[in-house]
Structure 1
Amino acid sequence: MEAPQLNQDCLIAVLATQVLALQPSSFGARANAVPARAPALCLPSGQLDLCPLLRRCAALERLSLAGLHRIASDELLRTVAASCPRLQELVLDFCGGVTRAGLEHVQALVEGAPGLRCLSLRRCAGLGSVAALARLSRLEDLDLSYCARGSAAALAGSRGVLRRLCLHGCEGVGDEVCGQLPLVEELVVAFTAVTDKGLAALAAGSPQLRTLVLAKRSYNMWQTGLWTDEGLAAFKAAAPRAKVVLISC
């Protein structure tokens, strides 16, 4: 079933809702990141200025702009930061128009909207450095998958409260990220530089960890981690309640 096209009737309905889940028409209905919470709205092809709409969405709690690389921009994030104080979840996956300047607005949003708990920046190629995230202190769920310059330093403020952290493909991430995650329940460090030392730090300092995702050793073109089979066995012995998942891509 195709998602409805965004028209005047949809806009009127959106202004009264708490969830705005937008997607490009070419993606199809299943591309949206939050379909279980609300019907997805398909955007017409070409440019569309969402800022006037978002300025009227003060009650918005969840916003997904996944894949809207032509529309999601730093200006749009500035509008969200100024207009959506109740936001709890923000999904910007594949939004190449978001840059480091845009992350400054995300930071302002986190500071101005204490309810924001979930942020996804998966494959945001325009970010460059993610250093602007260093002062985030309230997020519980953060996805930086394939943000090439992602590093543990960018997580300085949020390490102590994160419950889910996805760093899939962040080759700049190493053991330093593993030492200060006391509440983390799910951690994805596939295709990073984590070593046996990092696994030992997780076993010792992350008692709530239930799922650890690593990359399989064989049949991969990318760095799969610097841990050894012995180090992984030691982690399993020290953290028996944590399930280890090995992925290949």
Structure 2
Amino acid sequence: MAMAMLRASSVKEAEQLLGETDASSLELELSLREASLGDDGVRSLAEEVLSAGASGRAALVTVLDLSHNGLGPLGAEALLRVLAGACPRLAELELSFNCLGDRGAELLCGDLGLAGGLRVTKLGLAFNLLGPEGAGHLAAALGQEEGCSLQDLDLQDNALGSAGVVKLAEALQMQAAQESGSGSAGVASRCLRRLCLTNADVGLEGAGALAAALVSGAPLQELSLQDNSLGSGGAKHLANALRENCSLRSLNLWHNGIGDDGAEMIAASLQGNTSLKVLKLGFNGISDEGAEHFAVILESGCALEELNLEFSEISESVAERLALALAPPGD
């Protein structure tokens, strides 16, 4: 099915573009990114365009981007009151770089949102002034017994803290238990697959909780913990999860002060791991000492296909050894 991209800079333009769109077998991506809508503008979009149906085209919208709009809880509530009914096929909702705060997260996760008729699989909430309370609301939505549609959640640059991350990790453990108990592909499809916690004040306790969730069977495939100052202690927690051959296929630990000790622990954990394909460890103070541990593991044959060690103090000889070990067979 063809996807049409509609880029509008105002509510009026969005209405016009929707009205002019050919409705035959199309999926629509509607973007009002950086349109300076504010709460009043988003309310107008919801009530005058989406709710009115814009000649029936609103029902075709599968992707809605309202990032960078100064959107707060009032505008979010107005949007959520009409969104599920007006855009029943909506799969991706991008709300990053707004001012939702914990109240906005509560609304998104409540009866007007994820606990009601909103069935998005991808939700962007980066840079939204969320804290531990907001993380708790999201955790409650993820862990609800009837399942949650979310598979991709971006929480970058929100001060969730260890307390908030622990709540999210507990929700992931609940999802793992639900999937294990059901054995149903339908339940598996309602589990989170990608979680971005870049610069979210994760802390050692949060890292430990996430590792425990992964060991318990949480089917998370991509995890970003970049810029969280986890150090070698955080690396140890995650190495324990990797050693248990958890489901992760991509792990981003860029800029965490892991050092050579942390690199050694993570490298050792890859022995026997068949899932992890991408590992990002740039800007971690890793020298030849730490990099050589990866060279040994890669040369012995592990599943890793991409290793990022940018901004590391690695000699040319060790870099060449790593490149050779990572090269596909026959190259």
TM category (shorter chain) comes to 0.7 to 0.9
Secondary structure of 1:61's partner? strand
Aligned with residue 96 of structure 2, among 82, 89, 93:
93
Corresponding residue of 1:204: 244
| Superposition map of 1:1-249 within 5 A | 5-6=9-10, 8-14=12-18, 18-24=28-34, 43=35, 49-55=41-47, 56-57=49-50, 59=59, 60-69=61-70, 72-85=71-84, 86=88, 87-95=90-98, 97-108=99-110, 109-113=113-117, 115-124=119-128, 126-129=129-132, 130=134, 131-137=136-142, 138=148, 139-150=150-161, 151-155=164-168, 156-158=170-172, 160=175, 161-172=191-202, 173-181=206-214, 182-192=218-228, 193=230, 194-204=234-244, 206-207=246-247, 209-216=248-255, 223-225=256-258, 228-242=262-276, 243-248=278-283
Pairwise CA distance, 1:52:
2.9
> Which portions of structure 1, spanning 4 or more consecutive aligned residues, are displaced by more than 4 angstroms?
15-18, 44-48
With CA pairs under 8 Å and 6+ residues apart, which has the higher RCO, 1 or 2? Answer: 1
How many Å separate the matches in 1 of 2:114 and 2:39? 27
Structure 2 residue matching 1:90: 3-state secondary structure: strand
Secondary structure, counterpart of 2:32 in structure 1: strand
Q: Which one-letter code corresponds to 2:69 in the other structure?
A: L
The Cα shift of 1:189 comes to 1.4
Asked whether the 8 Å contact 2:226–2:254 carries over to 1, the reply is yes
* Residue ranges of structure 1 left out of the alignment (5+ in a row): 25-42, 217-222
Instruction: Say if 2:40 and 2:75, in contact at 8 Å, map to a contact too.
Output: no
TM-score under structure 2 normalisation?
Answer: 0.58
* Percent of matched pairs sharing the same residue: 22
CA shift digits 1:189-240 (9 cap, x unpaired): 1233333123212442623x21111124xxxxxx535871221112222324
RMSD: 2.8
Letter in 1 for 2:29: V
8 Å Cα contact 2:153/2:196 also seen in 1: yes
Shift of the 103–89 alpha-carbon distance from structure 1 to 2, 3 Å rule, reads: same
Measured in 2, the distance between the counterparts of 1:47 and 1:133 equals 22
Q: Distance in 2 between matches of 1:54 and 1:66?
A: 15
For residues 7 and 103 of structure 1, the distance between their equivalents in structure 2, rounded to whole angstroms, comes to 24
Pair 1:205–1:162, CA change in 2 (3 A):
farther
Which sections of structure 2, spanning at least 5 residues, go unmatched? 1-6, 22-26, 52-58, 143-147, 176-190, 285-331
Larger Rg: 2
1:4 Cα deviation (Å)? 5.2
The alpha-carbon distance between structure 1 residues 158 and 89, as it changes in their structure 2 partners (threshold 3 A), is farther
* CA distance 1:44–1:144, change in 2 (3 Å): closer
Shift of 1:44: 6.2
Mark the CA change 1:63 to 1:154 in structure 2 (over 3 Å): closer, same or farther: farther
